[in-house]
Chain A
């Protein structure tokens, strides 16, 4: 009768000549099984630390991005707190089930874009993505203090990209940073000047009903909704008004702003 004692079986296996088929297969199996256990163990044990590292790296990149925008870093320094990146479903005004890293891939799919009619399309976009990446700044108590909303639209010479910072009441503008523009140097390009951008802080973007009222004035600002126009750059000034109104309106961040007012964030 065969000896079923595992130790004896193990000794018998080791005693086999190295070139025997049984031993070759058994050694190959044992080595790969032990290595597989070892590798999977290390991966599983270390995964939480690696995930935390990646998240920290993304946060650092975001902070460099924001710090590179003139004006925004001061704004963040005043407000304090932590910055987080969120992908928003613009139609629902809620958090989308897409990781920020996957957004670029998602937006390559034309089904994730919405066409705009001429009446809707005040910013001259043609179509609008259904998802947008926004940044929320939260105070030490976890409450939302700033929402940083990337906005874009057609200027006089080309697209204008900007980041609009809104206070938690969604009505007060905390600041605007132009990230990309190709307006006429000396005229429209003055939208980049800190002196002009500094007027935005404290202005009111929406009226009490939530409708966008912000405008770049023709000349000197006459109300809490207006900033001074830029002399000689009427079209660029108008473009800023249109872009701001589009993105603050129902086809832009309107649903998101409504959700923030309801306290959903």
Chain B
């Protein structure tokens, strides 16, 4: 690693420039599923960030003693245990929200983001650095989830964090909720739009085209 970046850079890079969701397209299944309202998006973000930081710390701590042949299993076991514990804590103290998140908390185990960070970063860096990197990635994920959750809740229900911002027709107001926003496809559209916006603003993120459409090559047949 040439001139290893400062902790501050490690923390802030994944927020937008190296955002795990929009640049690496990691962890989007949960980003689609739990963003119908901001409350669930925020809880999911907090759960994922906590898992990410703790698993990064634990794995980084024992990184010199993980045999290469079983390293993925060891990482997954640690991540899965943390997820179960977090799920249990949510069921005990945030019961309503844990009902809404249902299976998605358990699915943090298979969230590519977590294993991606432990495998690529925590295995080679000391605990503090790994945890800062994990926190940065968790916050980057949270940022995307919060933005998408806010847009979906605002347009889909006319509310933000449960507060009615636009009075809907049902309640005697004027706003007709855009029901599409509460369905999964809208999250795809929003995420796609977000990726497009970021890559337009930061052109170095755009990937070179792998295939050119026949028209673009000038061929007719």
Contacts and interface: CB of A to CB of B under 8 A. Distances in A.
Interface in B50-84: 62, 64-70, 73-74, 77-78, 80-81, 84
A32 B91 CA distance: 24
Contact of B95 (A24, A38, A53): A53
A182 interface: no
B89 interface: yes
Given A49-B93, A57-B95, A24 B81 contact: no
- Is the interface on chain A under 10, 10 to 19, 20 to 34, or 35 or more residues? 20 to 34
Interface in A1-48: 14, 18-19, 23-24, 27-28, 31-32, 35-36, 38-39, 42-43, 46
B111 interface: no
A53 B70 contact: no
B74 A27 contact: yes
A50 interface: yes
Contacts of A31: 62, 74, 77-78
Interface string B71-111: 00110011011001100110111010000000000000000
A27 B84 CA distance: 21
A89 B136 CA distance: 59
A57 B100 CA distance: 14
A103 B68 CA distance: 52
A36 to B, nearest CB: 8
B81 A50 contact: no
Contact of B66 (A18, A35, A43, A50): A18
Contacts of A36: 81
B74 A28 contact: yes
Contacts of B88: 42-43, 46, 50
A18 B65 contact: yes
Given A23-B65, A35-B78, A28 B92 contact: no
Most buried by A among B66, B67, B69, B74: B67
Contacts of A23: 65, 67
Interface string A171-195: 0000000000000000000000000
Given A35-B77, A39-B81, A39-B85, A24 B69 contact: yes
Nearest to A14: B65
A24 B77 contact: no
A53 B98 CA distance: 11
A243 B195 CA distance: 65
A46 B93 CA distance: 9
A38 B88 CA distance: 12
B129 to A, nearest CB: 21
Interface of B: 62, 64-70, 73-74, 77-78, 80-81, 84-85, 88-89, 91-93, 95
Ranked 3 nearest A-B pairs via Cβ: A35-B81, A49-B92, A53-B95
Interface of A: 14, 18-19, 23-24, 27-28, 31-32, 35-36, 38-39, 42-43, 46, 49-50, 53, 56-57
Given A27-B74, A31-B78, A49-B92, 19 more contacts: A18-B67, A18-B68, A23-B65, A24-B67, A28-B74, A35-B77, A35-B81, A42-B84, A42-B85, A42-B89, A43-B84, A43-B88, A46-B88, A46-B91, A46-B92, A50-B88, A50-B95, A53-B95, A56-B95
